[in-house]
Structure 1
Amino acid sequence: MKIIAYIYSNPLLETAPEENSWGWEIDKVYQDLGKERSQLQKLFTDCKTEPANYLLIRRLEELGDNVEQVSDRLREFEEMGIIVISTEQPYTSDAVKLLTLLQQIQYQQRSRRIRQGHAQNRLDSAPPPGKAPYGYRKSKDKYTIDRSTSPVVKEFFEHFILYGSLRGSVRHLAKKYGKKISVTTGKRWLTNPVYRGDTAYQTGDIISNTHVGIISREEAAQIDRLLRRNSRLPSRTASAPRSLAGLVVCSQCQSQMIVTRVTQRHQDKEYLYLRALDCPQTPKCRAIAYQTVLERTIETVCRDLPVAVAGVNFPQLDSIKDNIGRAIARQQEILQQLPPLIETGVLDSETAKLRAYKIRTEISQLEAKLAILPPVNLRSVAQAVSIPQFWLDLSEVERRFYLREFIRQINIIRHHQEWNLEIIFIF
């Protein structure tokens, strides 16, 4: 008894399966990649001289590009006395079952043609289907900046970079331009690769530098750092007006401390306090004057931040950046070698496009790793913010930005009626 197998796969859509993945003892495997089915023709030729008993395939639609081709080739196998077994469909050389599968085969082939068209667009770095993001227009092969709407998007990004508040940036956009967007839409804008000059596809792949970005690479890296920083904070505190909001925790009851405002009747003056939000103790932990905690926080930052930054291993960080930079340079060199290989006939155009696409996605991944690393000027920044006068000259919103740039958490440590604070830095 002779058993053979046939595999057809398109490298644009899937990875070719292993030849020994059938679970049967196969005498020979015929495998085609891409558009041509030369191995299928060789299979027919071989079967005319050395007939087989069984042919294994994964799905019937792998035998042709349309229902007519599939039906004709199944009839040829039937005339040669070969039993066709589809391992992923309920078919074993049965005409009745074939009739029930024809509609499914037609649908699968139509879906495959659509996905092949999308895959071809990816190879050409063309935009995916659908409407262009706000601030862009879609041309035939790339995104182009919409001069009438891009200033609105640019203003949104600049406001977020300056204040680090998503909700605040959404409100700013509505107030200045009358452009009302939801917080969810604003979050999508901040993370959308298109605004950075990259094209993202439904597969999750990202191709860098396909068009002009509305924000620079440096601005994109700062936005990513701000988003990571805000994700560590309790909900809605990212846009809170007070600089300590979301940072302070009572170490005695492990409760988050929130800023509360107290006023007196017929007086304009207000008093700010930090109190435990969900203190389970009896009596509850006492509230602490906000200004006192702020002053001690600034004092502790000025004293301890330079020491904490000095402990960061900058040579190792530089080494990581250099390694990533060299990896990017190597991939770019490979990209430059592809055109001569096409001219000499070593690579055909389709294979070269597929290789270039994979290299460009790898470059995008390396650039993403490089962007999340901390800035190299951390030590000089630490020296600047270690001066008490620096903090006194800032507004509360500006203090909020800098405190969250360095501090992960502020612990209030109580000793009877007294208390101290401990600062946990991000690095």
Structure 2
Amino acid sequence: MKIVAYIYTDPLIEEPPSEEIWGWEIDRIYQDLGRRDELDRLWQDCVEQRCDYLLVRRLDELGDSVRDIRQVLIKLQELGIELITTETEIEPQLNLLQLIDRMQSNRLSRRMRQGHARNRLKSLPPPGKAPYGYRRSKDKYTIDRSTAPIVKDFFDRFSIYGSLRGAVRYLEQKYHKKIAPSTGLRWLSNPVYRGDTAYLNGEVISDTHAAILSRDEAAQIDRLLHRNRRLPARTASAPRSLAGLVNCQNCGRMMTVTSVSAPRRTEGYLYLRPTNCDRDPQCKVIPYDRVLKAAIERICVDLPIAVDRSDMPNLDGFKAKISQDIIDKQQAIVQLPKLINSGVLDRETVDLRTYKLKTEISALQNRLAAFSPVNLQSLALTVSIPQFWLDLSESERRFYFREFIQSISIDPKLTDLNLQLHFIF
């Protein structure tokens, strides 16, 4: 008994599958990529030597139209070869008209996917409405000058204060533009605002249209989003710099900032108290300013030491290597048209290879942007000066605290608080 398999892959919309997908002992696998040369060779071999079974994943792999598929089925019947599909079953109760109708539906879906894939090769925007801040032109997104400043102001506000909900409230107060925090989060992570085009398959092409965010601004936003994920809910927008960072060594609970006001006095007093403390008696509350002063003194002493002891990788070497990889791929794109003129490659293959290289370049640019733009050693010397912290506002101090500190542990029972800093690195 002889069993053969046939695989057809459209390079525009899918990757060639592994030859181990069948789960059968196959005598030979015929595989086509874009064209059907191997299918013709399969017929020649079946005429010369009898074949019992032909395995395919789907019926529509046997031709580009219903007519082609019908001719293949007739030829299989004439040669006495039984067809087996592994991903879709050919139900016996279906008559010929129902089978043809199903194949036509599959072909229509496939043609739509091919059309979207060809648009991706040309770096055209995906179907649908343009994101807020842009208009849709013939072949790319263009900046909407009436709404783009609103989006840019939203990004700037988030970059300064690191608060998503704060930026959303700011947008409503200044521009009367009301959006949900989830919408704001999509804006912050949307590649379109960085001049890139993202597709449903997750691939991104860089520099397809004018950007509202620069690469450096986008990288800063990404770092802030990553940092905020480590913090307890809603503390990213808290007005106090220590919110979400301090925990009690005795009960292990997170400490929240509480404001207490005295009768007939306008100013209030700030305290840190453990939430849901289960001790009896409960852990004491601590004046906020006392903890803040101790934290600044401790970070000025501990941060330079922690940076010196940390085994930080050579970021400059990583950056140089990624930058060189980007240059190499850009040069490869420039060389591809010459292969068409020499007859080595056809236009479709060159377009597909160019698209692949562009997506790889986008991925490398994102990796490069993820690196910190400053040297940690030099920055540690600057922020280890107490006056640096005292000159900052609470929102600015909150920003820098969270750049370095993961958590702060204190013992409310001790006079010196036994304050311990846990750095991110």
- One-letter amino acid of the counterpart of residue 6, structure 2: Y
**Equivalent residue, structure 1, for 2:182:** 184
Match among 300, 303, 306 for residue 305 of structure 1:
303
The answer to whether structure 1 residue 7 and structure 2 residue 3 are counterparts is: no
Partner of 1:22: 22
Which residue of 2 is the match for residue 74 of structure 1? 73
- Equivalent residue number for residue 125 of structure 1: 123
- Equivalence map 1:96-245=2 (5 Å): 96=94, 99-245=97-243
Partner of 2:83: 84
CA apart distance, 1:8 = 1.2
Name the % identity. 57
Partners of 1:190 and 1:223 within 8 A in 2: yes
> Offset at 1:45?
4.4
TM-score, with structure 2 as normaliser: 0.93
| Per-residue deviation, 1:102 | 3.1
Once the 2 structures are TM-superposed, how far is the Cα of residue 249 of structure 1 from its aligned partner?
Answer: 0.8
TM-score, length of structure 1 as denominator length = 0.93
Q: 1:68-113 deviations in whole A, cap 9, x for unaligned?
A: 3222321232233332222333339x69565543333222211111
Matches within 5 A, 1:348-387: 348-387=346-385
| Partners of 1:422 and 1:212 in 2: CA distance | 47
Residue aligned with 1:13, SS: coil
- The letter of the residue matching 1:78 is Q
Amino acid in structure 2 at the alignment position of 1:216: S
**SS of aligned partner of 2:150:** helix
The more displaced of 255-264 and 319-328 is 319-328
Q: Distance in 2 between matches of 1:56 and 1:305?
A: 65
CA distance in 2, matches of 1:246, 1:26: 61
Distance 1:425 1:107, change over 3 A: same
Rounded to whole Å, the distance in 2 between the matches of 1:386 and 1:201 is 45
Contact 1:91/1:97 (<8 A) preserved: no
Task: Kindly tell me the number of residue pairs found equivalent between the two proteins.
Answer: 425
Deviations 1:266-319 (A, max 9, x none): 221211100001211111100000011111111112222222233345662222
Cα deviations by residue, 1:368-418 (Å, 9 ceiling, x for unpaired): 222222233333332222222222222211211121122111111345565
Structure 2 contact 30–39 (Cα < 8 Å) conserved: yes
User: What runs of 5+ residues in structure 1 fail to find an aligned partner?
Assistant: none
2:418 partner SS: strand
Give the Cα separation in 2 of the matches to 1:297 and 1:146: 46
* Deviations 1:104-162, CA, capped at 9 Å, x for gaps: 32222111111111111111111111111111112232211111111011000111111
Greater shift in the superposed pair: 288-297 or 21-30: 21-30
SS at match of 1:91: coil
Gaps of 5+ in 2: none
**Alpha-carbon separation, structure 2, partners of 1:242 and 1:95:** 70
Displacement of 1:25: 4.2
Note if contact 1:7-1:32 (Cα within 8 Å) is conserved in structure 2: yes
User: What's the C-alpha RMSD, in Å, of the aligned pairs?
Assistant: 2.2
- 1:188 alignment partner, SS class: helix
Shift of 1:349: 1.2
Q: In 2, Cα distance between the equivalents of 1:75 and 1:337?
A: 46
